[in-house]
């Protein structure tokens, strides 16, 4: 799965399990590229999960996955 | 594109029951990752006495057993003495290890039991709704210190790692935290060294982990992670408290 | 050999691998025996724990991994172990717990007593559970019942309590050990040995779904019924023609036997029922005896505890008298003989009514 939006060389991207995420927003605080934001659509447990903004900024550094208390993030790197 | 990070193999694929931002699940992830890396999966036995983490056996895909509150160190002793080939860890909260289970902790360490105590210090009794713990900070408000912990009446936050460090059977003690990527990595390294001390038959090891508890601290998850650096580590300084394993840094 | 040491030797011969104890009179010789004879035995472990609470939880740990484990104490120490025993019962873990009981309540006395009957047979810990309770009354029985305790514990995956007393523990008697220590013991199938080549395993009962815990209770109670049917044990003495039956266990039964022999020489038709398993209690045997004999005298070294089980079994079809001495007082056979003969004549049993 790679994003073709900007066509530039994609360094990395992440997949966030919308059902596992509890919207604690820790990843948003620690992401060095600010590419994660809070969704406005509730998941089935009633949390507002977070979303990955695939703007090509993501370097696949995996900081978000390291801090995620729900282990809900998988990281891919180019 | 290759996957560089995924859910550890030994972490069961079930949602956590922990509150958003809780440190327990971070420690679970770190430990299951480490157990796999050290390929201890088929000889490790975990003991999670009551506390929020009593349900750890729903998440760790290794042999686990329930223990009475406070008796984790004694149960682990019995396991290790009866089956020395096993790698045994307890996964205890501050109430379990430093209040009701103080004697078991001190004496297991004093006998140099080859077990590893994972000690989650979140300064409150989480599962039961946020009461004072032995590690509650002075002036900290909990449901049983509604006016803030008054050291004249309720005593001081107890520094278990420093106390256990005086016990000669204890060979490796480190206090870490799981409130930032760097600290989370240090936690993993500390547990690795603790397990190694057990594997090398050196003695008792203890890793105290400062862990955020947003719900009972009445903070947002992020505030609780920051509170650890701003306040908690003043009372409970991070770092290696004792290391007589004669090993320089493993990696 | 002293009773306490006999238990130690019998346990080792039964393949006991772990002993975790704590000093308390009148059972110290057992702890010392295990320190000397089990401590250095290959594959075995002895710990003098920091408390009776720690000791029972160490037994729990050893039992988790399939080892034959034992702890021992006396009355106050056994009180401290009750929570641990409840956990053992709940998680279906075999273990042997020895109580060489002493006078109570409170710090009590260090002399022999039977005042822990309720604690042992009704379960002193929380929750609906039962433990098998064996009551030796001689040195030889200490050896035989200790061995049996380990076998019963493994067979039914249940904690087994040996309810002795300080006197039995201290008495020196000739003993014959009928078993050698096994070289190898099979590891219990569901033990925790690390998830090598099999899925990981959890031993627990804590659950957020009451129906799950209910099912655990039902399955435990089905097993208790089986034990009641298969393992109830007792001894009868001269009951066939008895007009008065003494019901006594342990050391009290031995004292009563002396009195009964004298009563017989004085022409009194007196017999005795001695429960060997206090749980399961031999209720059926009491019912059967009540068909021929109307009068029962329950004799205990306490304020009257086993008497309740006798009354429950009789369901009113029999007259039950009681004679007891609490606090660690050791009654003498002649004392019991006086009680028996007074009762015998008060009830007019000599006239063959």
The answer to whether residue A8 sits within a structural domain is no
Asked whether residue A8 carries a pLDDT value surpassing 80, the answer given is no
Asked whether residue A6 carries a pLDDT value surpassing 80, the answer given is no
Secondary structure element (H or E) that encloses residue C168, with its range? helix C166-170
- Which domains, and CATH codes, for chain C? 3-231 (3.40.50.970), 235-351 (3.40.50.920)
Taking an 8 Å cut-off on Cβ atoms, the answer to whether C61 and B66 are in contact is no
The answer to whether residue B173 sits within a structural domain is yes
The answer to whether residue A12 sits within a structural domain is no
The answer to whether residue B13 sits within a structural domain is no
Q: What's the pTM?
A: 0.95
Q: What is the mean pLDDT of residues A14-41?
A: 96
Taking an 8 Å cut-off on Cβ atoms, the answer to whether B60 and C200 are in contact is yes
Taking an 8 Å cut-off on Cβ atoms, the answer to whether B2 and A77 are in contact is yes
- Closest B-chain CA to A17: B15
DSSP β-bridge partners for residue C247: C273, C298
* CATH code, domain with A41: 3.30.70.20
Query: Which residues of chain B have a CB within 8 Å of the CB of C203?
Result: 64-66
Nearest CA-CA partner of B213 in B57, B60, B53: B53
* CATH code, domain with B138: 3.40.50.970
What distance in Å separates the CA atoms of residue B129 and residue B132, rounded to the nearest whole number? 10
Query: Which residues of chain B have a CB within 8 Å of the CB of C17?
Result: 82
The answer to whether residue A24 sits within a structural domain is yes
- Using a threshold of 3 CB pairs under 8 A, tell whether chains C and A touch: no
CA of B109, closest CA in chain C: separation in Å? 12
Among C20, C87, C197, the residue with its CB nearest the CB of B68 is: C87
Query: Which residues of chain B have a CB within 8 Å of the CB of C20?
Result: 78
The answer to whether residue A68 sits within a structural domain is yes
What distance in Å separates the CA atoms of residue B91 and residue B191, rounded to the nearest whole number? 12
CA of B224, closest CA in chain A: separation in Å? 10
CA of B84, closest CA in chain A: separation in Å? 33
Asked whether residue A52 carries a pLDDT value surpassing 90, the answer given is yes
CA of A33, closest CA in chain B: separation in Å? 15
pLDDT for residue C185: 86
Taking an 8 Å cut-off on Cβ atoms, the answer to whether A74 and B180 are in contact is no
Q: How many domains does chain B have?
A: 1
Give the CA dihedral C180, C182, C183, C184, nearest 10 degrees. 180
Range of the domain at B161: 23-243
Q: Is C71 on the interface with B (CB under 8 A)?
A: no
Among C49, C60, C201, the residue with its CB nearest the CB of B63 is: C201
The answer to whether residue B16 sits within a structural domain is no
pLDDT for residue B249: 57
Q: Is C194 on the interface with B (CB under 8 A)?
A: yes
The answer to whether residue A34 sits within a structural domain is yes
Q: How many domains does chain A have?
A: 1
Going by C-beta distance under 8 Å and a sequence separation of 6 or more, which residues neighbour residue C93?
A: C60, C63, C64, C87, C157, C159, C203
The answer to whether residue A10 sits within a structural domain is no
Distance of CA C164 to the CA centre of its chain: 7
Q: Would you report the helix, strand and coil content of chain A in percent, each value rounded to 5?
A: 15, 20, 65
The answer to whether residue A9 sits within a structural domain is no
DSSP β-bridge partners for residue B46: B64, B89
Q: One digit per residue, pLDDT tens: chain B, 251 residues?
A: 899 999 999 999 999 999 999 999 999 999 999 999 999 999 999 999 999 999 999 999 999 999 999 999 999 999 999 999 999 999 999 999 999 999 999 999 999 999 999 999 999 999 999 999 999 999 999 999 999 999 999 999 999 999 999 999 999 999 999 999 999 999 999 999 999 999 999 999 999 999 999 999 999 999 999 999 999 999 999 999 999 998 765 44
pLDDT band at A3 (very low <50, low <70, confident <90, very high): very low
**Residue ranges of chain C whose pLDDT lies below 70:** 352-353
Among A1, A69, A78, the residue with its CB nearest the CB of B21 is: A69
The answer to whether residue A11 sits within a structural domain is no
Q: Among C52, C58, C189, which would you mutate to test the B interface (most chain B Cβ atoms within 10 Å of its Cβ)?
A: C58
Q: Which chains touch B (3 or more CB pairs under 8 A)?
A: A, C
Asked whether residue A31 carries a pLDDT value surpassing 50, the answer given is yes
pLDDT band at A5 (very low <50, low <70, confident <90, very high): very low
Taking an 8 Å cut-off on Cβ atoms, the answer to whether B64 and C200 are in contact is yes
- Closest A-chain CA to B180: A67
Asked whether residue A63 carries a pLDDT value surpassing 70, the answer given is yes
Crossing angle for the helix pair C333-346 and C250-265, to the nearest 10 degrees:
60
Range of the domain at A66: 17-77
Query: Which residues of chain C have a CB within 8 Å of the CB of B44?
Result: 194
């Amino acid at each position: 799965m790679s994003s073709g939006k900007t066509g530039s060389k994609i360094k990395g991207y992440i997949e966030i399990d919308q059902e596992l995420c509890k919207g604690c927003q820790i990843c948003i605080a620690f992401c060095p590229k600010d590419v994660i934001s809070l969704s406005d659509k509730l998941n089935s447990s009633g949390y507002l999960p977070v979303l990955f903004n695939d703007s090509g900024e993501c370097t696949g550094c995996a900081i978000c996955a390291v801090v995620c208390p729900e282990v809900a993030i998988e990281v891919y790197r180019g | 594109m290759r996957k560089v990070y995924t859910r550890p193999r030994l972490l069961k694929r079930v949602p956590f029951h922990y509150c958003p931002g809780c440190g327990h699940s971070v420690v679970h992830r770190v430990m299951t990752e480490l157990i796999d890396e050290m390929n201890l999966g088929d000889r490790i036995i975990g003991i999670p006495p009551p506390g929020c983490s009593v349900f750890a056996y729903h998440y760790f895909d290794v042999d686990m057993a329930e223990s009475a509150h406070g008796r984790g160190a004694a149960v682990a002793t019995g396991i290790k003495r009866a089956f020395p080939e096993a790698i045994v860890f307890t996964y205890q909260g501050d109430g379990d290890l430093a209040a009701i289970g103080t004697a078991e902790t001190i004496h297991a360490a004093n006998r140099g039991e080859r077990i590893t105590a994972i000690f989650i210090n979140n300064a409150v009794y989480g599962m039961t709704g946020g009461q004072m713990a032995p590690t509650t900070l002075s002036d900290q408000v909990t449901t049983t210190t509604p006016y803030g912990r008054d050291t004249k009446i309720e005593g001081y936050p107890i520094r278990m790692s420093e106390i256990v460090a005086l016990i000669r059977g204890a060979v490796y003690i480190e206090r870490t935290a799981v409130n930032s990527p760097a600290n989370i990595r240090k936690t993993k390294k500390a547990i690795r060294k603790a397990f190694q001390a057990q594997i090398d038959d050196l003695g008792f090891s203890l890793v105290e982990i400062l862990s955020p508890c947003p719900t009972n601290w009445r903070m947002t998850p992020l505030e609780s992670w920051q509170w650890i650096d701003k306040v908690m580590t003043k009372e409970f300084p991070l770092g290696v408290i004792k290391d007589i394993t004669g090993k320089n840094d493993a990696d | 050999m002293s009773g306490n040491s006999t238990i130690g030797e019998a346990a080792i011969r039964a393949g006991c691998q772990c002993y975790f104890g704590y000093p308390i009179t009148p059972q110290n010789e057992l702890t010392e025996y295990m320190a000397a004879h089990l401590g250095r035995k290959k594959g075995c472990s002895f710990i003098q724990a920091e408390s009776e609470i720690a000791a029972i939880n160490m037994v729990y740990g050893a039992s988790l991994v399939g080892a034959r484990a034992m702890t021992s104490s006396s009355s106050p120490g056994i009180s401290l172990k009750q929570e641990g025993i409840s956990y053992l019962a709940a998680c279906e873990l075999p273990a042997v717990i020895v109580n060489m009981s002493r006078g109570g309540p409170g710090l009590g006395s260090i002399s022999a007593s039977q005042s822990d009957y309720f604690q042992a047979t009704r379960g002193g810990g929380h929750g609906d559970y039962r433990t098998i309770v064996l009551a030796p009354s001689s040195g030889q029985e200490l050896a035989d019942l200790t061995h049996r305790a380990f076998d019963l514990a493994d067979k039914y995956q249940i904690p087994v309590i040996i309810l002795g007393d300080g006197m039995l523990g201290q008495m020196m008697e000739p003993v014959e050990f009928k078993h050698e220590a096994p070289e190898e013991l099979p590891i219990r199938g569901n033990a925790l040995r690390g998830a090598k080549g099999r899925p990981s395993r959890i031993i627990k009962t804590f659950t957020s779904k009451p129906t799950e815990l209910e099912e655990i209770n039902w399955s435990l109670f089905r097993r208790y019924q089986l034990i009641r049917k298969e393992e109830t044990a007792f001894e009868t003495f001269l009951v066939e023609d008895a007009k008065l039956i003494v019901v006594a266990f342990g050391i009290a039964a031995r004292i009563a036997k002396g009195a009964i022999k004298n009563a017989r020489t004085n022409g009194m038709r007196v017999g005795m029922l001695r429960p060997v398993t206090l749980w399961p209690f031999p209720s059926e045997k009491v019912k059967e005896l009540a068909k021929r004999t109307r009068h029962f005298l329950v004799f205990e070294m306490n304020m009257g505890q086993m008497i309740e089980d006798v009354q429950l079994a009789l369901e009113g079809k029999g007259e039950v008298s009681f004679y007891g001495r609490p606090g660690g007082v050791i009654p003498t056979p002649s004392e019991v003989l006086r009680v028996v003969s007074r009762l015998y004549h008060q009830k007019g049993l000599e006239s063959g009514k």
